[in-house]
Amino acid sequence: MSGGGHDSADDTIALPALGCLELRVHPQRGRGVFTRKAISSGTLVNISPVLVFGRTEYADHGRHTQLDHYTYCWKDSGYALALGLGSMFNHEGFGHENVGFTRDMSRSLIRYTALRDIGAGEELCICYGPNVWFDAVSDVQAGGSDGHSGAQEQSADEFMRGFGLE
């Protein structure tokens, strides 16, 4: 078993068990994912299975509900709800997020990986894309470096398709 999150059998997915992640309420962002211990760059921090909605089902129903604040773009113009912590990562602007995500369409899951060393007590944030639907609050200090290690796994195209936006 490697750190890649799946065993040799294609239908078995090993889940990371860091034991240091916790859900906390951020005063402006609402619930978010925080770590009690330092996490090294490149660590697989979470795997979320997803619930996939087809394009028509989502257009007719899902987008008119709270689901629209949580879903990721998925294949064939559908959308997917990440189950578990995958729906709890808050947003930081591009270059300031400390967690990247990769959609595994064939296994219906999303992998989340630390893009840099993350300190104890930090919030784990992903980047939803360039256009968000809320007034984004950032915890990044002005003038700080983006801290990216080059571990970003998304292609530019995947990134621009964003979290729930096209």
Type of residue at 5 = G
The mark string for 102-131 relative to ligand SAM (x by CB under 6 A, - otherwise) is: ------------------------------
Q: Give dist(CA 10, CA 69) in Å, integer.
A: 31
DSSP track, 26-71:
ETTTEEEEEESS-B-TT-EEEEEEEEEE-HHHHHHTGGGSGGGGTE
- Residue closest to ligand SAM, measured at CB: 30
Sole binder of ligand SAM in the list 90, 98, 113, 152 (CB under 6 A): 90
Min separation Cβ 3 and ligand SAM, Å: 26
Residues 6+ apart with CB under 8 A from 150: none
- Which two three-digit tokens encode residue 42? 């490149």
Q: What is the dihedral of CA 33, 38, 44, 45, to 10 degrees?
A: -20
Type of residue at 98 = N
Q: From 159, 124, 151, select the one nearest 42 (Cα to Cα).
A: 151
137 binds ligand SAM (CB under 6 A): yes
Sole binder of ligand SAM in the list 60, 61, 134, 166 (CB under 6 A): 134
Sole binder of ligand SAM in the list 46, 91, 96, 114 (CB under 6 A): 91
63 binds ligand SAM (CB under 6 A): no
Q: Which stretch binds ligand SAM (CB under 6 A): 14-22, 25-33, 97-105, 112-120?
A: 25-33
96 binds ligand SAM (CB under 6 A): no
Q: Which stretch binds ligand SAM (CB under 6 A): 4-12, 56-64, 85-93, 145-153?
A: 85-93
Sole binder of ligand SAM in the list 7, 20, 22, 31 (CB under 6 A): 31
Q: What is the dihedral of CA 15, 30, 24, 148, to 10 degrees?
A: 60
Contact footprint for ligand SAM (CB under 6 A): 28-32, 69-70, 87-88, 90-91, 134, 136-137
